[in-house]
Amino acid sequence: MSRAEIVLQAPCDALVVPLEQVPDPVFAGGQLGPGLAIEPLGQTLHAPCAGTVVMCATTRHALTLRLGDEPDAPELLLHLGLDTVELGGRGIEALVAVGQQVEAGAPLLRFDADLLAREATSLVTPLVFIAGVQLRIEAQAPGRVTQGETLARLSFATDAGRSGEAGGPRCEGSATVALEAGLHARPAAKLKAIGEHHASRLSFALDGAEAEAGRLTAMLGLGIGFGSRVAVRAEGGDAAAALREAIALLETAEGARSPSAAGIDAGVSRVLDAIDADGVLRGVAASTGVAVAPLVRLRAQRIEVARAGAGVEQELARFDRALGELRTQLGGDRARATREEDAQILAAHLEWLDDPELTERTVAGIERGESAGFAWRETLDAQIAQLERAESALIRSRAGDLRDLEQRLLALLEGVESAVAVPHGAILVADDLTPSQLIQLDSVEPKGLCLAAGGATSHVAILARARGLPCLVGMGQALGDALDDETLESVRLAVLDAERGTLELRPGPERLAEAQRRRDSLAREHAEAFGAASSEARTRDGALIEVAANIGHPDEAEAAFAQGADGIGLFRSEFLFLDRPVAPDRGRQRADYQAALDAMQGKPVIIRTLDIGADKQLDYLRLGQTPNPALGMRGVRLIEGHQALLVDQLRALLECRPPAGKGGLRIMLPMVTDLLDVRRVREWIDTLVDELGLAEDADFVAPELGVMIEVPAAALCAASLAREVDFFSIGTNDLTQYTLAMDREAPGLAARMDALHPAVLRLVRLCVEGAALYGRKVGVCGAAAGDEIAVAALIALGVDELSMEPARVPAIKAWVRRLDRARLAARIDEALALDDAAQVRSWVARSITTNP
């Protein structure tokens, strides 16, 4: 096999699925590596190329081939279905063994397709290269393939070399983009702020195209993706500092991403275009759930505009008036929004509307004699086309936002009613839908949404998830072809099963009854979990587990309380310091902390002190360059060089008053290594209590002081730390990365970054044992706290509290009530003796199944 090219054969008869359409953020976002996926139509997977079997999961759901004898040879992972690890190997038979050499076409895995379709999330099977090899798909088979047919041709990609230097009033350099989702609106805004802060004009160039910071449309139109090599130029002001900070931002991976968008990079650029003989259409699940309802088709409305204007002055006046009206509409919609997701998206639309790139080009068209409507449409259509050509699926998905603005402004200019009229309680079918259209449809309570285009990262998908609305996207031309007017009239009830990614046009009576039972069951589970969310979560054998929420802003505390959270397990205070030119003053901080305390009505609120460094940087805090930012000046270590910032935060915290004098406030220190860190902060707290005269205040309740266990040293010193702190909270994200020595933002390592690795779990046990010596509680506030399999293992190890995103609280409380801590704890040593995280996950899943 040539090292320059790899040819993959279809492992079985299958439908070809681009990797970005896989309904799993880890695969769709390319975090495991490049590749593609298939939806099997057979029941045996064959080798897509020659190689050596170097891994076969104990649950037999995944297998890895090494494509050569060299140490750096590419490795191809075949992952049969999604979430199939939870089956514990049921329905899957391995036909090869580790170490065995196979030729292309050799049978690898045999599986029960019916069982997997019923019990797994999806049969979609990713094929990805995981050994850090950078590949480019040169050709990919469209649609359906037969076993042995050429599936794809891939070639090795090469990295651009480094270049550039900085100095003087005009500085130039380059950056290799580490933003996993590429350059999108949030980092683009930060780049603009960097330029403004240093009075410098920043510009960026890629593949011959150039854009200035602050021109959002042009910046996104560059299509800067993860790994792009971007030329950066700074002119004027402190150009050297601006260049340095801009490059640092581009080359630093983003952190603290929202779980609802949680890494999803599944925008659909090529659709499935498949309908089977039973009238089943397939799509990509953007929001899960099951709906049984009539179908209603929404047809796109094209607003006609005249090309020639009525005069430059008149058209400019019309344009300015329409801009003002739309700005007022968006502001009002945002103020009335009852969901945070709605408000955030409407705020983003306001930012787009103020983009000078859009207004300047429209004005230029008007000055050439065009009407305001024609100039606006031409401007927006050009920008939409540019976004849709971007490599990043996330950037492509934002074209829908511009289309929304285009339609709303045209409606105002031409006096057209933009509201969508549809019947109540239907499954809506459309080529595409804009965010504002979906918000308007709330009043008719749609039961589901099916789109020919769209992607799982689009704002429509985000809004659908926020509403719990089953939604399929990327359904292709087949959706329109199948649903002509006659078909729509004949379909009395359809089944939208976003759990399986299907829309069934001709369900029989038995299937309708089954779908209705499943829909009702899901609704009951959700309602029961939400209804019982305010009740305590006790395991079946009576162990009380506190289930709290993670927040980054005081407004989120109200949502946490409404979801039944037992407290705030992690208030990420650093988010109050981000995206602003200077640090918030003590009064502003105190008001935000107090708002969270008030919202929780006396329940405990754990506020983490400023955790800046590594993936979170402040424009106004110079931390200096370091080869390993994750190991540098971050967390509590800031007291070394930025003492005033931390002390000011401690003052603001001590000045807060929990409701009715209850002791709800707890202070938590991040990145603690040993007792030296704790004692320094404790001394400052004692000093500030005296300085503020709090010791004489009868209403003052001293806050508890705890530490985050994020580094192995802290876990190993848990017993000594427990002597002097009040509680532990384990940050499993960082603890896993530091224990395994794997960067959690490195896409090639994502598959192995699992908090259920036996080494991590042994450190958790050390924490629990050390805390128990002094009666301290141990919580977990990392991603593992919202992972049901991980929760079972953590509870077995003795963890007392779990903290996660607010929306997960009801479901995790319900899950905890199903577990038997004593039974799991009696056998957890078996899990700690296993080889890796995958084996642990399989063991836990089997243990839960066999101990109902």
Residues carrying an active site annotation = 459, 781
Largest Cα–Cα distance in the chain? 83
CA dist., res. 437 & res. 460, Å (int): 9
CA dist., res. 505 & res. 502, Å (int): 10
Residue 445 burial (10 A CB sphere; 0-12, 13-18, 19+): exposed
Long-range CB contact pairs, 338-344, < 8 A, 24+: 339/463, 339/466, 339/467, 340/466, 340/555, 340/556, 340/559, 341/260, 341/462, 341/463, 341/465, 341/466, 342/439, 342/463, 342/466
User: Residue length, the chain?
Assistant: 852
Using CA of residue 120, residue 123, residue 124, residue 126, what is the dihedral sign?
A: positive
- Tokens encoding 455: 């992607």
CA dist., res. 24 & res. 264, Å (int): 7
Long-range CB contact pairs, 403-408, < 8 A, 24+: 403/432, 403/434, 404/349, 404/434, 404/435, 404/436, 404/437, 405/326, 405/349, 405/352, 405/353, 405/380, 406/376, 406/377, 406/380, 406/381, 407/301, 407/303, 407/434, 408/326, 408/329, 408/436
What are the φ/ψ torsions at residue 486 (nearest 5 degrees)? -65, -45
* Beta strand pairing call for 135-140 and 150-156: antiparallel
Amino acid (1-letter code) at residue 649: Q
Our measurement of the distance from residue 803's CA atom to the centroid of its chain's CA atoms, rounded to an integer in Å, reads 17
CA dist., res. 701 & res. 703, Å (int): 6
CA dist., res. 250 & res. 174, Å (int): 10
CA dist., res. 576 & res. 553, Å (int): 7
Phi-psi region of 449 (alpha: psi -120 to 50; beta: other; left: phi over 0): beta
Residue recorded with tokens 């950056």:
175
Beta bridge partners, 605, equal 568, 665
Residue 185 burial (10 A CB sphere; 0-12, 13-18, 19+): middle
* Beta strand pairing call for 125-129 and 35-40: antiparallel
For residue 670, give the nearest of 579, 607, 739 by alpha carbon.
Answer: 607
For residue 9, give the nearest of 109, 146, 157 by alpha carbon.
Answer: 146
- Buried b vs exposed e over 818-830: b needs ≥16 C-beta within 10 Å? ebbbebbeeebee
Q: How many CB atoms lie within 10 A of CB 282?
A: 24
Residue 279 burial (10 A CB sphere; 0-12, 13-18, 19+): middle
Strand order in the sheet with 209-212: 170-176, 229-235, 201-206, 209-212
CA dist., res. 224 & res. 114, Å (int): 42
For residue 408, give the nearest of 340, 463, 467, 353 by alpha carbon.
Answer: 353
Residue 774's alpha-carbon distances to 77, 307, 771, in angstroms, are 47, 78, 6
DSSP 92: E
Beta bridge partners, 153, equal 7, 139
Residue recorded with tokens 């279905």:
81
Residue 65 burial (10 A CB sphere; 0-12, 13-18, 19+): buried
